[in-house]
Chain A
């Protein structure tokens, strides 16, 4: 299963490129769909360059301290070092040097905070709610209508986006390492995260705060697109569902309504209007299933519906393994067809 191409994940970040030779640490590629070190957003770029500067400094300081320790314990100078010199070491190494270095670092770090968090000049608002264990995403359509989606966020490149983050159940944390740092989603509060993607591509986000049994399976995709593609996509997502109309899909739609799926899921344009689980109006157009867990194809969809609990422990959706095979297949065909 390969959901990413190297172009999609955006190679060679501006600042990552600055220290490109370091990329191969221990023979490991530091690029990945979820890497904070291959930044594709303003926040991640600034933090990644901060990291490399700090890491370089840390290695240097470590080497000097360990050098002094090795010299002190291994060297056998003819004349013993005098106590006065040793005292200067304490004052210089223990007080003066760290005070200077920390002051510089602190000033730089504090200057970054407003840059990362300023809520001015925002082009787009998206509301994301972390729920055990998936993501409810709300956009406002170009026509001003609310559009509810799930487990996938698309953003226009080069625009400042403000995400309002909430949770109805437990604490989650919204983290797309390639775009920026994380912010917690806390029941009873609303937090804000500013994203400003700089490179088109597909990135992976995860829940970073331990949130129960299937915390490991709470992921999502972020697709950064050209602004006009984004507009088109959002306009499409705001439309009601369009089924392919094939016999199998029609049978699937029936099965969906008869088996009570609509009590939890909404498919706009049908009778299904449940609010508990993810909106499935355009589920077939998404890049993954089960909150970033599985590839999105009809076969996997059937397996997901039949074995939900085995695939994702303790999730609220029961397994529908008791349905006859053909109904599962029809459901999967119908849902995958909702592009």
Chain B
């Protein structure tokens, strides 16, 4: 009798298990046929993203071979000067903007949710949008070389060469194409920060976060402060090229060094934005290889955060030769030396872990060892060039070319190859070949050193960078030939690696589960994987739950933790509190859509048409893009659930909708606006840079913008802000009349404020083409105006949402996020007016 019951129960369990799996499968099904490209799930988007950034890497690698072929012998004419300059510009730009940064975003989109036991990132459509932007922008930039109109100003695009002496489309392609991609990087940064802060599994307090996630958190934070200065710089640059606003033209009070500051305030943190995620991969691989937990978890986290901070204080070491005062040289030399210490701490933590563990050899570890050998040398030459006097010789010579490739290939490419071999089974269910992996490694390792080790001496013998050819007999003919031979050996290694990835693997059996016997959550994945990733979202009690928590895999697989079911057949993942990871919400994430793709096409249109000066087409494309994004927001965000809360298993019930600072959307808005403010701060920095450096700035106080109009403008904007806050309160109290009244008034104030801000410099006749001062005033006003336009659309959107019944007193994400936006709007407008109208009167 008891036996039968037991059997029945087991049968019921099994059928229930099957039913749950079927529902999960239905909810997370990947679309098929041509609709496959509407997928937004992190596993699909992550794989596309990774594949496309690798393609860009191969493209830039071919460009590198062209460079080395040209430089194999002196006085070579394989490439013309013009083509060579396009080739080296694209090589650097593509490697940095289309491979080194995106590959970490791609990897993270692919593996981060798995590491956190989440089903997806909080904004899958945003990931998809970011990917499509990246693809379109990247193809546009790379394609230019086939028409011989590629940018040729170097990846650093120094004015006045690129502003006043390059008349073709190249520089515009670089500026607009790459700005477009920077926007997608910012989108990814927002997505990853919110993902790490809010979608961790229950119990994963901040001291249990996998190191990879810590690193990505640091890096995504750095992106928020590093990319916006470049975007601001791009804006100034493009305004100078298209409209003749003379920001960098010394004849009209401008200064080419402002660009260098903005570029390197971006460019130096960029190096760490590239390096830290690669070290993050090492931090996952080393404990697995040593078969023991990492030693010095806290040290590593502190070192990563420290590196992030210090990296913002080093930018001027790229500018030692510009004639900086001695005191600045000393400061930046000291700061540049200091960054070696946290880097050293991280390396010694890995060594200590390897020392204390039982080491298992594997191809990923081989690449990690190679990375160490290469990177440590690059780091040591980095310490050398950070000393200003040595840099006076090394700067802009092949010594720097050697140094930066040691750092980037050792600190990024080799770890990425290690990560590729390590994580490949997660994405494909199959292992890569150990034999091919070893061949690839040794060819790449030897080829790399043959190429770049001699370059240290090529540089010190006097060969400058970015020369398309050189005179025979200066002492570096043979060194150059050796470098070229090395480059081809390296390329063969890369080809073998690529072959290992793309070779047909139909007959190869699937890898066993957790093939490396790792301890972290991502190795819960089945081989092959299911689209829903984890069967149930586990409770975490250790940094290495697969090693430390008994019966962990079985409990997850049998759906004994959270969200083992998708009762409504909707895509759901768990949101937890930021510090201690208590479950606080069951988040419904949107499914497949082509909206992200269309939005990317239309946004791309704005940038691409502007490059060709087809402004009408750009405008149409912009309007279409705006409409697409509004449809996307309207149909896919802040949806009112059919019930307020849901049982997620283990007797826990959590709400399906949270608004205000508990909602992921609020966090995304907050983080986006932090990035936005750092771009704005860069423009303000520009104003004060000119003021400190140039005596004719401002030329004459009476030439400033009309103070009255500017003050009226600021007043109206502050009014619009206060009214928006009032509308938020009224909505919460469900007082519809006050809500609509306040928002209508707020919208009117917003328009009035915009007009008054415009009237400020307009009424006093400031001509932005005449001098850098009016141009700087106008660019700040322009920045405010664009943001006011966005703020206005947001206000109208909230009215429409409430009218349509998609926003209520209880479900009020929209108005709360808009109110948050308006806080930043109020700051922007106030600072703008204080700077442009107030400051000239204060001094």
Contacts and interface: CB of A to CB of B under 8 A. Distances in A.
Contacts of A318: none
A98 B344 contact: yes
A332 interface: no
A90 B352 contact: yes
Interface in B374-390: 376-377, 380-381, 383-384, 387-390
B351 A58 contact: no
B321 A183 contact: yes
Interface in B354-393: 354-359, 361, 365, 369, 372-373, 376-377, 380-381, 383-384, 387-393
Interface stretch (A99-107, A225-233, A250-258, A277-285): A99-107
B655 interface: no
Contact of B356 (A31, A86, A112, A314): A86
A186 B340 contact: no
B323 A72 contact: no
B351 A82 contact: no
| Residue of B257, B322, B457, B463 contacting most chain A CB atoms (<10 Å) | B322
A170 B160 contact: yes
B737 interface: no
Contacts of B392: 43, 47, 116, 180-183
Contact of A181 (B164, B340, B354, B393): B393
Nearest to A55: B384
B464 A206 contact: yes
Contacts of A37: 457, 460-461
Please classify the interface of chain B as helix (H, G, I), strand (E, B), loop, or mixed, using the class held by over half of its residues: helix
B329 A94 contact: no
Nearest to B366: A73
Contact of B365 (A29, A73, A165): A73
B372 A35 contact: no
A208 B256 contact: no
Contacts of A209: 158, 321, 396
A87 B352 contact: yes
Interface in B816-839: none
Contact of B341 (A2, A48, A94, A132): A94
B396 to A, nearest CB: 4
B389 A208 contact: no
A78 interface: no
A95 interface: yes
Interface stretch (A146-154, A187-195, A321-329): A187-195
A65 B376 contact: yes
Interface string A14-43: 000000000001101111111111000001
Interface in A89-129: 89-90, 93-95, 97-99, 102, 105-106, 109-110, 112-114, 116-117
Pick from B154, B250, B389, B395 the residue with the most CB of A within 10 Å.
B389
Given A93-B348, A183-B321, A72 B81 contact: no
B576 to A, nearest CB: 31
Given A177-B461, A204-B462, 16 more contacts: A34-B475, A47-B392, A66-B376, A86-B353, A94-B344, A99-B341, A105-B383, A109-B333, A116-B389, A183-B323, A208-B397, A210-B465, A210-B466, A212-B85, A213-B81, A213-B82
A175 to B, nearest CB: 7
A113 B354 CA distance: 41
Given A34-B474, A214-B81, A109 B387 contact: yes
A83 interface: yes
B493 to A, nearest CB: 21
A205 B472 CA distance: 15
A161 interface: no
Interface string B444-482: 000000000010010011111111111101111011000
